[in-house]
Structure 1
């Protein structure tokens, strides 16, 4: 089926990401002078070296906060523009010893998809942090088929034997059934461990520089190549994306304000369709390109078209039109699509040639040409 359910269920927070450019060079690009926060905070970030984490770190430092990272130390640490404390441990094995006996004003939990990670963090940090912010996902909703989902929609139910016994291995083995349900249980565990001092942030597709999944990157990259581009459907299906920098920086502002609650962190703040997104990419890339709307029924099951979500007829049709009114009211803002595309391509084109040659999402050129040829032959018959 077009955009695969596996891809949709991951929706951003399983997106591992490294970077070949300093995160500081990407954070806050074009956003002007960053003012200091009214009160400096001691912020603990669980993770911090993946996709959105470095943007949180850089923005927090620019705002005058003190930052501590906790992770396994497996990834090269980005070049920070200020002092960052690094603590190591492994949440897979319950090794959180380096967090013991410490206190922070805020904890931001970026990478968690397993309830026992939250439980174990609570054992060490409950009463030691004043505010716990958890990155979840819109995949927690039980029914993703209808547009306009708000934060109080019913959540997915776990149907396994023991949620606390699930591991990254069991999650990957059955991600379609487990991902949303385990995220929902992780949210519940956060409230159990930290009470009402919790903020839940539910993103959809996270895009922009540092995104190693290539899901959104496929489109500006493909359009820059020129020629005939296969566009699924009639081009009117809604699209929701959020730049990783907008997400990361907003979470720091939520921490500064002490905002509690649950928020759908999806964007933009206007109706974006597949056609308008693609033409927005073309406005940046330029070049000769034609867009051909391709019938949904003719898209093979094994062909994935990233970011695109059919607006009807699937269990996840509503994922392209989730309500973000609550988050916007709480200060979530979005940089222009052109800015995201421009800076994404700058980052991507600085990656090694062999990495750019990889096809991590979308249709290979030869397969796209084959489908388009068959489509035109059918039209002319």
Structure 2
């Protein structure tokens, strides 16, 4: 029998895939959004308007009940506490979409769910930056777990990939491969890249709700060497650029997204253990399918990247002499 699901967020990328997965499984979906983002969801999705940052931002939820809530848009503690406490007696399960950025030792190989976390941010912190993002998510996790106990599920996804990804991180590589020619490839091919397909994350979210699965789960996909990743993308002429040359040309994660050297202080973030989630039913999309489907979407998405074709050509010319 179908369930009634509330999703906080739901119109963009990860949230959109989660909504579509619940609909595909035969469930009824309501979303709470501010109504500011493009909304291409089916008409049968109930739209509720609200903003957790405002005093009356959750009024649309009052007097209602759902079988589960999936919190896709919880970034700051005040907002997560507001929704978690309001819904405590009105939802069966609260699923919080967190991040692998909560770990205190991202240099570990592999990173597992029981590894130490970053110190939590204070609940009055509201600015989400590169420095506060992980600590804020730690605090949000703690609020959900304290409020719901065994009815809480915490999902910590790796970098998420797939269609509708406007971050242009993963799409940069499928778009660059499609242009052909010599491709600036970071490292020597032996470092690793790992992402989670948004559709796999979404299906697992449905699974934990349908089966009442609580606990904490890392969500990560197949771990590929960069050489194998280039093959998946169909790059026939990778030009491997050493870390020293990348640094000399001021090329980092922004310009070459997904690239973290194996022995970098953040290197474990490309070695996230998914063993616990796989044991609980996580299924993984073939990386070639993720690449194909992302490119089918991104070719018309007009995404912009930090590394322009002209800048790439300059660097390739310099390192190749």
TM-score by length of 2: 0.94
Look up the match of 2:256.
Answer: 305
Q: Aligned partners of 2:278 and 2:262: how far apart in 1?
A: 23
Aligned pairs for 1:192-341 within 5 A: 192-268=146-222, 271-282=223-234, 289-300=236-247, 301-303=250-252, 304-312=255-263, 314-341=264-291
Residues 1:65 and 2:27 are matched in the alignment: yes
Select the residue among 142, 147, 165 that pairs with 2:124: 165
- Match of 1:217, SS state, is helix
Name the counterpart of 1:370: 314
Shift of 1:72: 0.7
Matched position secondary structure for 2:26: coil
In structure 1, what is the Cα distance between the partners aligned to 2:158 and 2:150? 24
Q: Is 1:89 matched up with 2:50? A: yes
- Structure 1: runs of 5 or more not aligned: 1-38, 284-288
- 1:14-33 maps to which residues of 2 (within 5 A)? none
Partner of 2:62: 100
In the comparison of the two structures, how many residue pairs are matched?
316
CA distance in 2, matches of 1:76, 1:376: 44
Give 1:5-44 correspondences, 5 Å limit. Answer: 39-44=1-6
- Per-residue deviation, 1:302: 4.7
Give the structure, 1 or 2, with the largest relative contact order (CA under 8 Å, sep 6 or more). Answer: 1
Unaligned stretches of 5+ residues in structure 2 = none
Who is 2:12 aligned against? 50
* 1:202 shift after superposition: 0.4
Q: TM-score, normalised by structure 1?
A: 0.80
Q: Which runs of 4+ in 1 moved over 4 A?
A: none
Q: Deviations over 1:124-176 (max 9, x none)?
A: 10111110000000100011112111101000014x6xx22222xx22xxx23
Relative distance call for 1:253 and 1:231 in structure 2 (3 A) is: same
The two structures, once aligned, show a CA RMSD in angstroms of: 1.5
Matched, 1:150 2:100: no
